[in-house]
Chains A and B, each alone.
Chain A
Amino acid sequence: MTIYQAPPVATLQLENVSFVHRGNTLLKPTTLQLAGCHRTLIMGPNGAGKSLLMRLSHGLLTPTSGSVHWQSEPPAQAMVFQRPVLLRRSALDNLTYVLAINKIPRPELKGLSRKAQAMSALEKFGLASLAKRPARVLSGGEQQRLALARAWLLNPRVLFLDEPTSALDPAAIKAVEDAVLEFHHSGTRIVMTTHDLHQARRLANDVLFLHNGELLEHTPADDFFTTPASPEAGAFIRGELVW
């Protein structure tokens, strides 16, 4: 068996990035660097700007000021949303659809037909028996796994996940977390938002802590959970509501 060695992931640099919507500053000027193949968890209470920071990083939104750039060629990216957006087609067709858009197959699937690639992704995520089912009648957990399978086929070097487990039961959460670790093992940088402290402890290498649209901390996970630098983060970890 050949072991595929993923090349290093390009560094993402945010410089003085801010976002203003209808006069409200939703993200204060933020400077940030994401390098290496880490699992970075973005944390903070509701409305802190977690999803916004992620969308700016992924390029779905344009910052009001400042710049978002990759220090070399922008890598392949994918994003998994809180509520998976699946097309009104079968599970299998949802996967062949992205293969038709993204013509570069995963290295280990090279040479296979689109359908065969899609089937292998379905098998990998435990969805093979649901291939023919309409994607939108699958359960919440199955839909999220299908969204992950779709992201898998895009072979991203950076995977963004926006609270992917917030509406799932514990078994489905476990399946998503396993998938995230699998992505990471294959050399994909993970950037994920969550407000679940336990999940963050399980997954994080480093933590970005946001509060009221301001980035208060970017620290290794161990430090963040034991000795948070900001009082807000301390209060958040203790479960005291921070608004």
Chain B
Amino acid sequence: MLTSDNAFSTALALIMSMDSALISIVMLSLQVSLMAVLIASLLALPLGAALALWRFPGRNAVIVALNALMGLPPVVAGLCVYLLLSRAGPLGEWGLLFTPTAMVIAQVILVLPIIAALTRQQVEALHGEYAEQLNSFGLTRSRMIPTLLWDARFALMTVILAGFGRASAEVGAVMIVGGNIDGVTRVMTTSIVLETSKGNLPMALGLGIILLGLVTMINAIAHVIGETAKRRLG
């Protein structure tokens, strides 16, 4: 019988055992999601800022598309990357399907719209406040971007965390492009799916609790860093 009690004790036992298989799953999960968030941030922060500052025909359409893509179902993202990377696909030669790299690519596609759309919002608001002063300094729009991103850094940290939340929680994309191969592309969410379908519910729940714990820890660290910096800088 499944009780929360034996799920917790399974989780605890899993952590205590320092099982090497479990550790490799946890490490791979973190590696894939953190790498995806890092790449997505490097692309999406300047992209969102540029979208906030430039007016061009079709700008509203781009904003609506980005906002809509925030709700892109992970399985659809996974399917698109699968089609691109499969042997018959345009990038099939790279042989990336069913590798952690493919999982990172799929998660970048999921995370990028979230970070870009929310960055656009934050930077646009800040630009409203700073525009006259920065114009008075004689800054061009492209030179305003680093200033605005840096001054919006506390809000953007939350934006990046939202992206990380999406990456670490999704299962559909990594399942399709990774294939849940034991020891190669198995991450926490795909393991949970597997254990649930095997009927090993305490194990599935145990893994779920560990995943939740990890995500909470990363958010807590980011929060403490952010709050300390905010208190120091006002």
Contacts and interface: CB of A to CB of B under 8 A. Distances in A.
B4 interface: no
B71 interface: no
Contact of B234 (A55, A77, A78, A137): A137
Nearest to B129: A85
A135 B234 contact: yes
A89 B233 contact: yes
Contact residues on A (Cβ < 8 Å of other chain), bracket: 20 to 34
Nearest to B133: A85
Contact of A81 (B132, B138, B139, B232): B132
Contact of A79 (B129, B136, B147): B136
Contacts of B31: none
A89 B233 CA distance: 6
Contacts of A87: 130, 147, 151
B228 interface: no
A53 to B, nearest CB: 15
Q: Tell me what chain B mostly uses at the interface: helix, strand, loop, or mixed.
A: helix
Contacts of B232: 134
Contacts of B234: 88, 133-137
Contacts of A101: 137-139, 143
A134 B233 contact: yes
A134 B233 CA distance: 5
Most buried by A among B143, B147, B232, B234: B234
Contact residues on B (Cβ < 8 Å of other chain), bracket: 10 to 19
B60 interface: no
A133 B138 CA distance: 26
B136 A78 contact: yes
Nearest to A133: B234
Interface in A77-93: 77-79, 81, 85, 87-90
Given A88-B234, A136-B234, A98 B137 contact: yes
Most buried by A among B129, B130, B138, B139: B138
B233 A81 contact: no
B135 interface: yes
A102 interface: yes
B233 A58 contact: no
A88 B233 CA distance: 7
A60 interface: yes
Nearest to A78: B136
A189 to B, nearest CB: 16
Interface string A100-122: 01100000000000000000000
Contacts of B233: 88-90, 134
A34 B49 CA distance: 38
A77 B234 CA distance: 29
B207 to A, nearest CB: 41
A181 B60 CA distance: 48
Nearest to B143: A101
Contact of A60 (B129, B135, B143): B135
24 contacts: A55-B132, A58-B136, A59-B135, A60-B135, A60-B136, A78-B136, A79-B136, A81-B132, A81-B133, A85-B133, A87-B130, A87-B147, A87-B151, A88-B151, A88-B153, A88-B233, A88-B234, A89-B151, A101-B137, A101-B138, A101-B143, A102-B138, A135-B234, A137-B234
Closest 10 CB pairs of A and B: A134-B234, A85-B133, A137-B234, A79-B136, A134-B233, A136-B234, A88-B151, A60-B135, A101-B137, A87-B151
Given A85-B129, A136-B234, 6 more contacts: A78-B136, A85-B130, A90-B233, A101-B137, A101-B138, A154-B137
